[in-house]
Amino acid sequence: MPINKKVREQVMARDKKCVDCGSEKELTLDHIIPLSRGGVNTPDNLRVLCARCNRRKSSFIEWDFLERIMMALHVDEIITKVQGELKGQIQGQWTTLRGEIEAVSQSKASKVRGEVNDQLEALRKEINGQAQTIAFLTKQLRALEAHNKVKWVEETTTFEGYKKT
């Protein structure tokens, strides 16, 4: 896209010579942000360079110009503000997430307590059943002992405690 004649004259009158080396020979207009990278044909994006400096620059964006733009736009302040806002959002999300984690933890803890209580109840029933079996076997052994067929040895609680007489 060709540069408007009025814009060209305005930039040449403003800069008068190469803004990089000061030469007044073979002057050209340079796009600070190249058209190929989204630049436009406005005086703010154009400057005067000699042919040599313009070839050196090619289609690169010069960082000193970007720094000037960043300073003019108060980018540091914007970044600080955005960081503050993001920090607030992250803290809010963390607080929400922590609350959700605690709720899930309490729910899971309640579920686990229920499962443990169920397991304890099953064990209690099993132990009661075994105690009844032991009581029955003990009664049978006492009956046999009374008839002098088997002698019960009290020192042990295992079935090895049975001794033939």
pLDDT of residue 64: 61
Residue 67 covered by a domain: yes
Residue 38 covered by a domain: yes
Query: Count of domains in the chain?
Result: 1
Residue 65 covered by a domain: yes
**Domain ranges, residue 63:** 5-72
Q: What is the pLDDT of residues 45-101, one digit of tens each?
A: 999 999 998 887 766 666 666 666 666 667 677 777 878 888 888 888 888 888 888
Q: Could you tell me which of 3, 93, 81 has the C-alpha nearest to residue 40?
A: 3
CATH number for the domain that contains residue 63: 1.10.30.50
Residue 90 covered by a domain: no
- CB contact at 8 A, 48 and 19: yes
Alpha-carbon span 153 to 98, nearest angstrom: 61
Q: Could you tell me which of 71, 1, 63, 59 has the C-alpha nearest to residue 31?
A: 59
Q: How many CB atoms lie within 10 A of CB 145?
A: 14
Residue 34 covered by a domain: yes
Residue with tokens 């009844």: 132
**Whether the predicted model's global pTM rises above the 0.75 cut:** no
pLDDT of residue 113: 82
pLDDT of residue 60: 64
Classify the C-alpha dihedral 87-89-90-96 as positive or negative: positive
Alpha-carbon span 55 to 20, nearest angstrom: 12
Alpha-carbon span 19 to 56, nearest angstrom: 13
Residue 25 covered by a domain: yes
CA gyration radius, the chain: 46
Residue 119 covered by a domain: no
Residue 100 covered by a domain: no
